[in-house]
Amino acid sequence: MTVTDREDAKYEISVARSSDTGEYECTVEARGKTKSSNSLHVWVKGMTKPILTAEKEEVLEGEVVKLRCELPEEVPPLHFFFRKIKTNSIPKEKRVFEPYRNFSEVEFSVEEADNILQFDCFGRRFVQLEFEDSEHSNTTLVTVREPFIKPTLNAKPSSNITEGDRIQFECSTVVARMRDIEILLQKNKTILKSVQDEVLKYSTVATLEDSGEYLCKVEQGRASKTTKLNVVVSELFPKPTLAASMSNLDENKELTLSCSISGFRKANFSILRKNSNGDTLLKNSRNLTMRVNVNDTGSYTCKAEVKGIVKESKPVRINVYAPVSKPTLSVVSGLPEVVLGKPLWLICRSAMGTPPIIFTFYKGNEVKKRVTNDTYAMFLDENIRQNDKRGYKCDARNNHSSGMKTSNILNITVIVPIRDASLGSIPYGEVEDGSETAFLCSVKEGSWPIHFKLFRKTDREVLLFEQIENADRVMWHKKAMKKQDTGTYFCVASNRANVDVKSHPITISVILATWKKGVIAAFSLILIVGAVTLALYWFLRKKKKAKGPSLEMSGSALATNLTSEKLTRQPNDGDYYSGSGYIEDNENHVKSADESKGPDLESEEVEYTEVEVSTLDPHRAPVQKGTETVYSEIRKANHDSVENRHSRIQGHPDAT
């Protein structure tokens, strides 16, 4: 910031650097007001020359050269590039990014054949979306000294040798200092020997396997140098050959093994049997004869030794066969049966016999399959038919001279699964209480024996009956049905196919027995007849009681008429007329002479009619008069010759 009382101000950069590249502007503040100028872009081209320094000017092979490259007065981030320059080769370059420093350090390893090395460096920055490189630094020279000379490798007596002869290898070098020096002898990347000295020696009896390239390697620190030597070993004698009289033979036969070398007879021979846990020596001889058994099956070899060189023949496989026993054929599941539609697995076994054994399966006389196995073989038949009567058999044979053995014929029972179970009953639907009911469960198809089960289903399934029958149906009798036997019934049938087939349910309703209905009806009828009888008796009795008062009232009416007639004839008589028909207690009942007729009178026909009569007040007669309705009984004689009229008068309770 610059403060001045003049009209202008200056800002100077004494030594411009690339880091000064950017936008510049000035701002004026006066009397509390601020004003900025337009920005001005300044681009400073070029970078300072980097400075390269080396930690050492002289190094040994295997060591490292440490370098430092610096860009003074440059501002990070910066990229540094280091180069290792060798004569007649492309420079090796390393790149380092420094986000916070203007210098960088790296290491270069010194390799074999590096003598005088040159190094330089340069820098790079990113400006205005472009990269800008500095010029290259000064070149720094580094001298390389060998810590040891390249080793020499020799073979004695020669690199061309005959097997059985001893060969000696010698590897040597000259070192500047003995610290951490090591010499190694290798063949096919296998270290044969190593020493921490200037000289290595290695000796062995040459074999054909010793032919090849040998490498001597000297290491010290990171430095290493190698030398190679090719060795050729000539064959002293070829590998022996083992011959067998027979490779496959029956047990208890004789086997002869012979070992030989083509064109060479002076050797020590031995015959061996190879085992997993090592070789077993059978005889130190060229020939071996023995009687074999099954346990002698295996691989045999022979070895020949000349001048300490031992060579082994290729192994010979000897197979000793025991005859196969008569095979047994059976069903894998156990029983000689199969469910129709299911696959049938058969297994053929031979208890004795040296494997491999060839098993052949037959269906009838047709060959179905051949299997080679050790002691058994399996066969799958998926084409099972219901009426297929062909039996199965198998034979077994191996390389024994006795030939093949055949099993017995195995006949398979084809089990037909249960199909369409049904349930019926007699009677069906409604059953009288106490009666017998027969249930018939049957199937449309299925192999015997069949397991039948009968259930009644209410709130749960109750097993009522089960039986195994050699038939396609079974009947069960329920002796006396009860009301609680009402419900839904169904049956389940199964056989060895192990599939339960359920019938459609039927519903049984237990109703009242007919004789019980008759008893109830008779009892009800008796009650009705009794009620009617009582009602009729009551009615007749009431009617009889009603007839008695009618006759009495008729007599009273007649007496009244007679009294009326007398009053008519004696109108002035103020006394009451006291007829012979009146009773002292004033009940106004008059007994008529007609009552003496008894039943004859009752047998007459009775008719009723309405008449008006005048009654006399016994207390005020004859002044008081009244009009009442009178029902008259008109009885007719059987011969209609006599008509008697009797009247019953209905009036006030006071009337007499």
Mean pLDDT computed over every residue of the chain: 80
CB count in 10 Å sphere of residue 185: 22
Residues 108-137 pLDDT 10s: 988 877 778 899 999 998 877 788 889 999
Compute, in degrees rounded to 10, the torsion defined by CA atoms 111, 113, 119, 123.
Answer: -50
- Beta strands 419-426; 405-406: pairing state: unpaired
Residues 168-202 pLDDT 10s: 999 998 876 767 788 999 998 899 999 988 899 99
Confidence band of 479 (pLDDT split at 50, 70, 90): confident
Residue 2: per-residue pLDDT:
67
Please compute, for residue 556, the number of CA atoms within 13 A of its CA located in the half-sphere on the CB side. 19
Confidence band of 515 (pLDDT split at 50, 70, 90): low
Please compute, for residue 232, the number of CA atoms within 13 A of its CA located in the half-sphere on the CB side. 2
Residue type present at position 78 = L
Q: Is the pLDDT of residue 232 over 60?
A: yes
CB count in 10 Å sphere of residue 283: 16
Average pLDDT over residues 447-468: 90
Residue 51: alpha-carbon gap to chain centroid: 76
Q: Is the pLDDT of residue 330 over 90?
A: yes
Of residues 362 and 619, the one with the higher pLDDT is 362
Average pLDDT over residues 212-222: 88
Spatial CA neighbour of 422 closest among 446, 388, 402: 446
Would you call 204 helix, strand, or coil by DSSP? strand
Could you give the CA distance from residue 508 to residue 377 in angstroms, rounded to a whole number? 57
Topology of domain 328-415 in CATH is Immunoglobulin-like (2.60.40)
Could you give the CA distance from residue 476 to residue 454 in angstroms, rounded to a whole number? 9
Residue 396: per-residue pLDDT:
96
DSSP state of 562: H
Same fold, 152-234 and 419-511: yes
> Is 1-145 CATH 3.40.190.150?
no
Q: Which CATH class is domain 152-234?
A: mainly beta
Stretch (H or E) spanning 539: helix 514-569
Residue 649: per-residue pLDDT:
32
Task: Copy the structure tokens of residue 190.
Answer: 């296998």
Residues 358-370 pLDDT 10s: 999 999 999 999 9
Q: Give residue limits of the domains in the chain.
A: 1-145, 152-234, 241-321, 328-415, 419-511, 539-649
Confidence band of 480 (pLDDT split at 50, 70, 90): confident
Average pLDDT over residues 386-402: 89
Q: Is the pLDDT of residue 39 over 90?
A: no
Could you give the CA distance from residue 167 to residue 156 in angstroms, rounded to a whole number? 6
Residue 617: per-residue pLDDT:
42
Could you give the CA distance from residue 360 to residue 416 in angstroms, rounded to a whole number? 28
- Beta strands 316-321; 248-250: pairing state: parallel
Residues 349-358 pLDDT 10s: 999 998 899 9
Q: Is the pLDDT of residue 450 over 70?
A: yes
Residues 52-73 pLDDT 10s: 999 988 888 778 899 999 998 8
What values do phi and psi take at 462, rounded to 5? -110, 125
Task: Copy the structure tokens of residue 95.
Answer: 């790149």
Residue type present at position 543 = K
Q: Is the pLDDT of residue 648 over 50?
A: no
Spatial CA neighbour of 95 closest among 118, 55, 123: 123
Task: Copy the structure tokens of residue 500.
Answer: 């339960």
Q: Is the pLDDT of residue 148 over 50?
A: yes
Residue 623: per-residue pLDDT:
41
Contacts of 265 (CB under 8 A, 6+ apart): none
Task: Copy the structure tokens of residue 176.
Answer: 């500047």
pTM: 0.45
Q: How many residues does the chain have?
A: 656
What is the percent of the chain where pLDDT is above 70?
Answer: 82
Topology of domain 419-511 in CATH is Immunoglobulin-like (2.60.40)
Residues 270-298 pLDDT 10s: 999 998 888 899 999 999 999 999 999 99
Most confidently modeled of 73-87, 315-329, 468-482? Answer: 315-329
Spatial CA neighbour of 412 closest among 384, 431, 379, 437: 384
Could you give the CA distance from residue 101 to residue 78 in angstroms, rounded to a whole number? 8
196, 198, 212, 584 from 201: Cα distances, Å:
12, 10, 18, 187
SS (H, E, C) 336-396: CEEECCCCEEEEEECCCCCCCEEEEEEECCEEEEEEEECCEEEEEECCCCCCCCCCEEEEE
Residues 568-612 pLDDT 10s: 444 444 433 333 333 334 333 333 334 433 434 333 334 444 444
Task: Copy the structure tokens of residue 82.
Answer: 């280091």
Could you give the CA distance from residue 566 to residue 551 in angstroms, rounded to a whole number? 23
In CATH, the architecture of 241-321 is Sandwich (2.60)
Buried b (16+ CB within 10 A) or exposed e, 96-108: bebeeebbbbbeb
Could you give the CA distance from residue 29 to residue 3 in angstroms, rounded to a whole number? 9
Residues 19-37 pLDDT 10s: 777 788 888 888 788 888 8
Residue 640: per-residue pLDDT:
41
